[in-house]
Amino acid sequence: MKAIRGRLLTYRPAPVYEEDGLIVVSGGKISAVGPAQKLIPDLPPDTPIDDHSGKLILPGFIDLHIHLPQTKVIASYGAQLMEWLERYTFVEEARYADPEIAEAGAKFFLDELFRNGTTTAVVYGSVHRQSAEAFFIESAKRGAGMIAGKVMMDRNAPEALRDTARSSYDDSKALIERWHGKDRQRYAVTPRFAITSTPAQLEAAGALLAEHPGVYLQTHLSETQGEIDLSRELFPDAEDYAGIYQSFGLLGPKTLLGHCLHLTQREQARLAETNSIAVLCPTSNLFLGSGLADRATLNANRIRTGLATDVGAGTSYSMLRTAAEAYKVEQLQGRSLPAHEAFRWITRGNAEALGLEEEIGSIEVGRYADLVVLNSGATPAMAHRMERCESLEEELFALLTLGDDRAVAATYVRGNTAS
């Protein structure tokens, strides 16, 4: 047993704030939460207390779309999506055929997530089975709850990055049986996107979902017009891009669709009726010049949305920076994103998108003690700004706008300092 003290903020779904709160952790989960002065007298003698008084403690951040093998191509210059994949991404991902590179990459990747306060992520591996295997091994070792999968890609990619419909099915199935539901790990069937999968491979992905109802599916949808056009050429019988995935049984409440920038009305109806999740990636969309996500229209059409960094086209591992860019995308469309809404989105909101709100995403009894401690005055500029903040809402917005990994004072996974 241990306790963690500080200013507690969580969403249930409305904001719940405790100026001097205490989280009691037993067996990696929250066993009590409330005012520190009320709970401390009831603690067993010698219970260790991590004292973060004055700092904000929130549920750990959740990232719904990020690429493990792209950490060394983040900030690569001057290309849009298809050229960016060919010039940078595919070259780097081919290196993950080497198990030692996959292992080292997984360690760096998790270090960076935790350093930025992210405790759960939905992760793309490379086409190589060992990329997902190395990631799951490292995640389980650290006690984290992660969702990941090896990419399925059997055409329109370099030979070193192509599998086959059969091998991608066999490798994915073996990973599901080895990891899904073990040590907080979950599997996501991962066809990269329609362009790089034959009909036979998408059929194999659908078979995996049918055989293993608890697994997720992650892919990309409607990031650029060129991608849309090529997808339609490759699947001429489909009514639209989203219809390609639906025809193979790939849409549903556990389907995470990255980007969703240029959806037609018919596609939006498909996503709504299947309860699929549109995952918005503002930093990568701006970096590659792909477009602006129309979150208001998605919400109006009752499409579930999530938020993600999309490293390596995304330009930061920080969900604070990502939410700040989402705010700017809203501003460019004449709307806004209130601070409480942004923080709810990257905690409880993303947990709800995953259907995991009973495990993560809030500070409540029975949830895993996956937490992030934020220092609103972490830099001189932030501390200077805090002198004029007169409300929690103002503080949160300044933290969102100015914060990054430097604002993360500590990250906890299962109540232990993440490492």
Region of 372 (left: φ > 0; alpha: ψ -120 to 50; beta: rest) is: beta
Check: CB of residue 124 under 8 Å from CB of residue 156: no
Task: Using alpha carbons only, give the angle 202, 92, 90 rounded to the nearest 5 degrees.
Answer: 40
pLDDT given for residue 411 in this prediction: 98
Single out the residue in 285, 317, 349 at which a domain terminates. Answer: 317
Single out the residue in 250, 284, 317 at which a domain terminates. Answer: 317
Residues 146 and 72 in one domain: yes
Residues 7 and 79 in one domain: no
pLDDT given for residue 81 in this prediction: 83
Mean pLDDT of 355-365: 98
Check: CB of residue 144 under 8 Å from CB of residue 89: no
pLDDT given for residue 78 in this prediction: 81
pLDDT given for residue 419 in this prediction: 76
pLDDT given for residue 79 in this prediction: 82
pLDDT given for residue 137 in this prediction: 98
Residues 144 and 128 in one domain: yes
**Over the stretch 290-323, which tens digit does the pLDDT of each residue have?**
999 999 999 999 999 999 999 999 999 999 999 9
Q: Is residue 165 part of a domain?
A: yes
Mean pLDDT of 382-391: 97
pLDDT given for residue 82 in this prediction: 84
Instruction: Quote the CA–CA distance of 170 and 207 in Å, as a whole number.
Output: 11
Residue ranges with strand state E in 60-205: 61-67, 118-124, 146-149, 151-152, 185-191
- Per-residue confidence at 280, pLDDT binned at 50, 70, 90? very high
Q: Is residue 336 part of a domain?
A: no
Instruction: Quote the CA–CA distance of 346 and 197 in Å, as a whole number.
Output: 31
Q: pTM for the whole thing?
A: 0.98
Q: Is residue 348 part of a domain?
A: no
pLDDT given for residue 247 in this prediction: 98
CATH number of the structural domain spanning residue 34: 2.30.40.10
Residues 36 and 180 in one domain: no
Residues 45 and 157 in one domain: no
Q: Is residue 342 part of a domain?
A: no
Residues 273 and 389 in one domain: no
Domain that holds residue 19: 2-59+363-417
SS3 125: coil
**Over the stretch 326-356, which tens digit does the pLDDT of each residue have?**
999 999 999 999 999 999 999 999 999 999 9
pLDDT given for residue 84 in this prediction: 82
Residues 130 and 241 in one domain: yes
pLDDT score of 379 more than 90: yes
Single out the residue in 317, 343, 378 at which a domain terminates. Answer: 317
Residues 204 and 302 in one domain: yes
Q: Is residue 349 part of a domain?
A: no
- Per-residue confidence at 406, pLDDT binned at 50, 70, 90? very high
Residues 32 and 105 in one domain: no
**371 bridge partner residues:** 59, 412
SS3 33: strand
**Over the stretch 69-127, which tens digit does the pLDDT of each residue have?**
999 999 999 888 889 889 999 999 999 999 999 999 999 999 999 999 999 999 999 99
CATH number of the structural domain spanning residue 235: 3.20.20.140
Mean pLDDT of 222-233: 96
Residues 40 and 141 in one domain: no
pLDDT given for residue 100 in this prediction: 97
pLDDT given for residue 352 in this prediction: 98
- Per-residue confidence at 195, pLDDT binned at 50, 70, 90? very high
Q: Is residue 55 part of a domain?
A: yes
Residues 226 and 280 in one domain: yes
State the burial class of residue 106 (Cβ atoms within 10 Å of its Cβ: 0-12, 13-18, 19+): buried
**Over the stretch 28-80, which tens digit does the pLDDT of each residue have?**
999 999 999 999 999 999 999 999 999 999 999 999 999 999 999 999 998 88
Instruction: Quote the CA–CA distance of 134 and 129 in Å, as a whole number.
Output: 9
> What's the domain count of the chain?
2
pLDDT given for residue 367 in this prediction: 98
Residues 31 and 86 in one domain: no
